[in-house]
Structure formats: structure tokens, C-alpha cells
Amino acid sequence: MGLSELELAQMIDISAVKAGSSLADVETIVSAAKEHHFIAIFPLPSLMVRAKQLLGDRTDIILGGTVGFPSGSSTTRTKVFEAKELVEIGCKELDMVIDIGKLRSNLYQEVAADIREVVDVAGNIPVKVILEVTLLSRQEIMDGARIVRDNGARFVKTGTGWSGSTTTDHLQAIKEAVGETIKIKVAGGVRNLDFLLKIHEMGVTRFGLGYHSALAILKELQDREGNK
């Protein structure tokens, strides 16, 4: 299998980013990250300060924040303000939603400028840009991935988790467009170990999961290792 439980956990971001995610949900993901050594937690912006307080002195867990979530249609000024505020709070990674409507309208220069301005204000903080692949054609996925790569983002991310599941076809389109030139994060549809391992072999190095899916996948790995 090739992955230890710790190695797997260090590729998983756990999130509480649904519209109804509560403080209790944030407390749950923080506790899970502390116990299982997940690499990062992502709450919604309004609960970011409380999430940071809950993390305390655990500098081994990345505090991540969302920008332009989930539609990507905020103005660039709004996204820049949001990114700046999240960095000031203490976020160490930002997951930004691309302007999906402009991407689908072939307004590529405006899409690129939107990403660049957020990347610039983030400084050394890594920015992952979400394509929301389930809403795009294959060509739009490929074009979007190239724009993300060419404008300073560290990762192209497949989805928010709000709009359906990433498939291997989506990933093949991204890989055809950008090859190994940018890292890939998948969110949406990773619900079992076999699929996670399959897309890891395709080059995915980060996975955005909800709490229940993350723990279920870890348990699958534990069970398989225990049965050897």
C-alpha cells in the first residue's frame, strides 16, 4: 500500500465549511486534527478566530481559510480584503474559489488578475485555487488549471465539496493541461481509501475531506494494515 497512517493524515485537510457548520463542528475538527495529526483544518471565516484559539500552541496543524467561497463570484477587491483579513488572523493557507462565471465566459485575463491579486496579498502564504470542476467542461478545466498555475498559486484544487464529486476524468484533464508543474488538491467525492489511493497515484498530494470521511478512511487503512 505504501502509506502509513501518519503519512496519510499528513495529506488530509479536514473542514467544517458547509453553510450550517457550527462552532461544535469546528471543535470536532480541531480535536480530530490534534488526535490524528491531520495536516490542516479549514473552518469558515466567521469562526476562524475561535478555531485559532482552539488550536492553541499546536503549530504542527495548519490553520486554513476560504476566500470567495463557495461561488467564486465575489469582486476581486472583496477577495483581496478577505484574504488580507484571514492572513492577519493567522491563516497559513488560503483556498480561493476561481471566478467560475468569468472562466466559463472566456474572460481569462480577468480571471488571471483576480488570482494574482489574492496571491500578491497572501505573500508567502500558499494559495490553492478551486476550479469547481463539476461545473466546467473538459476544456474549461484545462484552461482554468493553466491560469491557476501561471498566476502564482501553489495548488490547483478540484472543488469546494459543495457541487459534486471529483472524478478521474477531471484529474486527467488537469494533468493533461499542467503535468507536474503544479500541485493538486482534491475535494469532493473522496469517501473511501481505494479512491484516495487511486488518485494519489495520479499525482494528488492533498485531500480536502469532511470529518466523517477522513476518520472512515483512516480506519480503512488501520483495518487493512491490521489484517496483514
Q: What is the pTM of this model?
A: 0.95
Backbone angles phi, psi at 106, to 5 degrees: 65, 25
Select which of 13, 25, 95, 114 is catalytic: 95
Q: How far apart are the first and last CA of the chain?
A: 11
Report the pLDDT value the prediction gives residue 224, as an integer from 0 to 100: 87
* 194 labelled catalytic: no
Select which of 79, 102, 128, 157 is catalytic: 157
CATH number at residue 40: 3.20.20.70
Long-range contacts of 18-21 (CB under 8 A, 24+ apart): 18/162, 21/47
Report the pLDDT value the prediction gives residue 30, as an integer from 0 to 100: 97
Q: How many domains does the chain have?
A: 1
* 95 labelled catalytic: yes
CA distance 160 to 60: 24
CA distance 2 to 137: 34
Task: Name residues of the chain where pLDDT drops below 70.
Answer: 1, 227-228
Q: Which of 97, 46, 104 is nearest to 71 (CA)?
A: 97
CA distance 149 to 193: 28
* 92 labelled catalytic: no
**Structural domain that includes position 154:** 5-226
Residue 112: which residues within 8 A CB-CB, separation 6 or more?
147, 150, 151
